Amino acid sequence: MPAPIAGSAAPAGRARTLAQVYRHFGAVDAAGTSPLYERVALALSESDEALRAIETVPARKRHPTVVLAALHDLALAGRAPALATAYAAADGAAAAAAAIDTLLRMTDSVVAIAARRPPRANETGRCPVLYPAIADAARRVGAEAVGLIDVGCSAGLNLNVDRVGITYSNGQSLGDLSSPVQMSASIVGGRPVPAQPIPEVVARVGVDRDPVDVTDPDEARWLRACLWPDQPEPAARLEAELALAAAAPPVLLRGDAVEVLPDALASVPADVLPVVITTWALSQFPLESRLRFLHRLDEAATRRAVAWVSVEGVGVAPAIPTFGDRRASGHSIIGVAVFGHSDLRAEGVGRCWSRGSMLAWLAAA
């Protein structure tokens, strides 16, 4: 009998088998969104040989999102041409057959990729939420230049926030409207986002325990592989943002954020405002680390002002007020905090939904 797998939505009291997890992924998670992954996941769930191969992947990496990304990675690398052809043709039957064939022939490669690479979500498109919050933080301090430090940066795509163009549904626009990367977002409610620009950005630093170097072809390919093969729009957005990042890559510091943050802050010139950014990163930190992260910002502020812009689930960012919203409400809170010599001014400035593609600005602009 196949081993049970940890993961989402197990029936109460018993873990689901691999076959059940793959069937659920195909029939529920992928259905309606990715016809290719629906077919492939269901085919894997019905193949005893395929399930046995998946069982050789380390237990925490057996989830369909990881195994399918590993297969997609092989296709993108030219190592699984039949699978690549089936994906390109959006041929579900051929993709299902090729995925099983690739998995059985290249089990060791699938295991190695899945074991080595952390799954990555789609990390594009955060700028419509970040831009006005960073500009607002700089305005509060009167800063004429900022150094951006993205904590939990992954590939550091947020660090190009001032290099993209942004159009909002209320007619406002921000950033560089001639940039090859253009983003849009819907504004909820009647309040505009602040119109001031981000001042000059003189430093761009990414901090992550496992950063992605976008100039490394294998690492960039893994970001592509984590997208589903029949979703051209996210893929095109990722290509554009990767190209922008690769043209002027940020400094990446590898390590635990709490340990590395002092070095990151020290790399920002003394007369420049460091603006630390976190987007959907802090939920991966234990509560104690989140408090130590806050303490680090406070320590750095004995020497100069430090700002922190957060976009995190309700109640995840310590010290950021949440408008009384319930945790796990499905939206996130946009926070702006300024650490001065001995005080902290932290404010919730808005809410956002769908990873920032919809936002409500709530602070006075």
Q: Which residues bind ligand SAM (CB under 6 A)?
A: 121, 123, 126, 152-154, 207-210, 256-257, 279-281, 284-285, 289
Query: Which single residue brings its beta carbon nearest to ligand SAM?
Result: 152
Q: Are strands 182-187 and 145-151 parallel, antiparallel or unpaired?
A: unpaired
A 10 A CB-CB count for 56 gives 12
A 10 A CB-CB count for 267 gives 14
Q: How far is the CB of 302 from ligand SAM (least distance, A)?
A: 23
Taking the least distance from each CB to ligand SAM, the nearer of 86 and 337 is 337
Q: Are 156 and 278 in contact (CB under 8 A)?
A: no
Q: How far is the CB of 284 from ligand SAM (least distance, A)?
A: 4
- Cα gap 365→343, rounded to integer Å: 23
Backbone φ and ψ of 170, nearest 5° = -90, 10
Task: From 216, 120, 126, 191, select the one nearest 162 (Cα to Cα).
Answer: 126
Residue type, 81: P
Taking the least distance from each CB to ligand SAM, the nearer of 153 and 238 is 153
A 10 A CB-CB count for 322 gives 19
Task: Please name the residue that has the structure tokens 């209320």.
Answer: 170
Taking the least distance from each CB to ligand SAM, the nearer of 20 and 122 is 122
Q: How far is the CB of 120 from ligand SAM (least distance, A)?
A: 7
Q: How far is the CB of 124 from ligand SAM (least distance, A)?
A: 9
Q: How far is the CB of 234 from ligand SAM (least distance, A)?
A: 13
* Helix or strand run (H / E) with residue 345: strand 344-353
Q: How far is the CB of 331 from ligand SAM (least distance, A)?
A: 15
Burial class (CB within 10 angstroms; exposed 0-12, middle 13-18, buried 19+) of 310: buried
How large is the angle between the packed helices 64-76 and 35-45, nearest 10 degrees?
Answer: 110
Q: How far is the CB of 268 from ligand SAM (least distance, A)?
A: 18
- Cα gap 312→320, rounded to integer Å: 10
- Cα gap 308→23, rounded to integer Å: 42
Q: How far is the CB of 123 from ligand SAM (least distance, A)?
A: 4
Q: What residues contact residue 297 under an 8 Å CB cut-off, 6+ apart?
A: 261, 276, 306, 308, 337, 339
Q: Helix, strand, or coil here: 200?
A: strand
Q: How far is the CB of 282 from ligand SAM (least distance, A)?
A: 8
- Cα gap 322→77, rounded to integer Å: 44
Task: From 106, 114, 11, select the one nearest 58 (Cα to Cα).
Answer: 114
- Cα gap 150→204, rounded to integer Å: 8
Q: How far is the CB of 140 from ligand SAM (least distance, A)?
A: 23
